[in-house]
Amino acid sequence: TGARVHDIAVVAGDGIGREVVPAAVRCLDLAAARHGFSFAWTEYDWGSDHYRRHGAMMPPDGLDRLHAHDAIFLGAVGAPDIPDTETLWGLLIPIRRRFSQYVNLRPVRTLPGVPSPVRGAETMDLVIVRENVEGEYSEVGGRIYRGEPAEAAIQEAVFTRTGITRVAAFAAELAAGRHGLVTSVTKSNGIVHTMPFWDEVVEQTLAGRAGVRLEKILVDAMAAKLVLAPTAFDVIVASNLFGDILSDLAGAIAGSIGVAPSANLNPERDHPSMFEPVHGSAPDIAGKGAANPVGQLWAGAMMLDHLGEPAAAADVVAAFEAVLADGVRTPDLGGTSGTAEFTDAVARHLGEAP
């Protein structure tokens, strides 16, 4: 038998995605070499340039081509001259839905050398499990009487027993391997159909699970508690919309959007999962070589974990943490290093000859 090879689709996308993805690929290759495996990267030049040339973010057979790979490594998509609904619904959301990536996993913790704007957040260490394919982000609804006084818009949230059960079960399993606390985010006092259903199914799913405690909290109280007591959480499970908002809030408490990673998981592994930073294409700093590659590197470490390479994953995290602790920082963290200098330092920690 030959050495292990992981076959990865790479979509760098737009803006700083084209800067941080190559930086992360270089470091992931170094980690692989240290652990006796390798990557076969296939780059897809999809995103806003493709949209300008062909009127679509990816070709019609794009999803089929992605499906052949073990995982998808994504930068970011989005450009100021193209509506975000086109970029989002033309690439990201079809990938998440077609590949049933129903868990959006977002670990949030404070890193060495990344000060939090919130007092007492130094030991924050939580994971947000966001439902990623249904809920409030639905295509059910419509807009009528456009431009007339009677104009109206309706958008239906869709929650299914299957959808809630599987995301709650994932959160419970994750918590069982951590500190055993699942915080379920709800709004059952105001949203009277879907949210009581969410509460019921989460309770049923977690009932009788050894080593897992369930607490539930209203989303508005949750927003306040995250700021006032960011260390009070372990695993947070939330609907698509609530999870989206709370993960930006938690990421801000951790210090910078530039360091936050995210995994879109198909836990059954029937389809490839997708790994990306939380941040977008950052057109305001694109092309300046100033982007922080940590979010992309950390997303790469999550991909290594998913591929069954936990030792290499731990190496990548240890490498960027050591560089941050050394005081090498990009401007978003108050430093003066560019993407290249930061990445060079990480590469040296991963064994690249200077």
Residues belonging to the active site: 145, 187, 220, 244, 248
Selection from ligand NAI, Mg ion, none that 195 binds (CB < 5 to 8 A by kind) is: none
Q: Does residue 279 touch ligand NAI according to CB under 6 A?
A: yes
Q: Does residue 281 touch ligand NAI according to CB under 6 A?
A: yes
| Host H or E run for residue 314 | helix 310-325
- DSSP labels for 12-47? EESTTHHHHHHHHHHHHHHHHHHTTEEEEEEE---S
Q: Which is nearer to Mg ion, 79 or 346 (CB)?
A: 79
Q: Does residue 92 touch ligand NAI according to CB under 6 A?
A: yes
Q: Are 246 and 226 in contact (CB under 8 A)?
A: yes
Spatial distance between the Cα atoms of 191 and 29, rounded to a whole number of angstroms: 47
Q: Which is nearer to ligand NAI, 135 or 280 (CB)?
A: 280
Selection from Mg ion, ligand NAI, none that 281 binds (CB < 5 to 8 A by kind) is: ligand NAI
By CB under 6 A, the count of residues binding ligand NAI is 23
Spatial distance between the Cα atoms of 280 and 278, rounded to a whole number of angstroms: 7
Q: Are 341 and 300 in contact (CB under 8 A)?
A: no
Q: Please count the other Cβ atoms lying within 10 Å of the Cβ belonging to residue 221.
A: 12
Cβ-based neighbours of 151, under 8 Å, separated by 6 or more: 143, 144, 145
What token pair was written down for 65? Answer: 């081509």
Name the residue with tokens 């100033």: 290
SS3 of 205-249: HHCCCCCCEEEEEEHHHHHHHHHHCCCCCCEEEECHHHHHHHHHH
Q: Which residue has the closest beta carbon to Mg ion?
A: 244
Stretch that binds ligand NAI, among 169-177, 277-285, 310-318, 320-328 (CB under 6 A): 277-285
Q: Are 15 and 74 in contact (CB under 8 A)?
A: no
Q: Which of residues 238-257 bind ligand NAI (CB under 6 A)?
A: 257
Stretch that binds ligand NAI, among 114-122, 146-154, 202-210, 272-280 (CB under 6 A): 272-280
Closest distance to ligand NAI from the beta carbon of 205 (Å)? 28
Q: Are 194 and 159 in contact (CB under 8 A)?
A: yes
Q: Which is nearer to Mg ion, 48 or 104 (CB)?
A: 104
Q: Which is nearer to Mg ion, 16 or 304 (CB)?
A: 16
Selection from Mg ion, ligand NAI, none that 280 binds (CB < 5 to 8 A by kind) is: ligand NAI
Task: Give the burial class of 96: count Cβ atoms within 10 A of its Cβ; 0-12 exposed, 13-18 middle, 19 or more buried.
Answer: buried
Q: In terms of Cα–Cα distance, which of 263, 264, 259, 233 is closest to 246?
A: 233
Selection from ligand NAI, Mg ion, none that 77 binds (CB < 5 to 8 A by kind) is: ligand NAI
Q: Does residue 217 touch ligand NAI according to CB under 6 A?
A: no
The residues of the shown chain that bind Mg ion, judged by CB under 5 A, are 244
Q: Say how many residues make up the chain.
A: 354
Distances in Å between the Cα of 325 and the Cα atoms of 94, 310, 321, 351 are 38, 22, 6, 18
Q: Which is nearer to Mg ion, 88 or 314 (CB)?
A: 88
Q: Does residue 113 touch ligand NAI according to CB under 6 A?
A: no
Q: Does residue 104 touch ligand NAI according to CB under 6 A?
A: no
Question: Of residues 9, 12, 77, 307, which one binds ligand NAI by CB under 6 A?
Answer: 77
Closest distance to ligand NAI from the beta carbon of 2 (Å)? 35
Q: Does residue 9 touch ligand NAI according to CB under 6 A?
A: no
Binding residues vs ligand NAI (CB under 6 A): 16, 20, 76-78, 84, 87, 92, 257-258, 276, 279-285, 291-292, 295, 330, 332
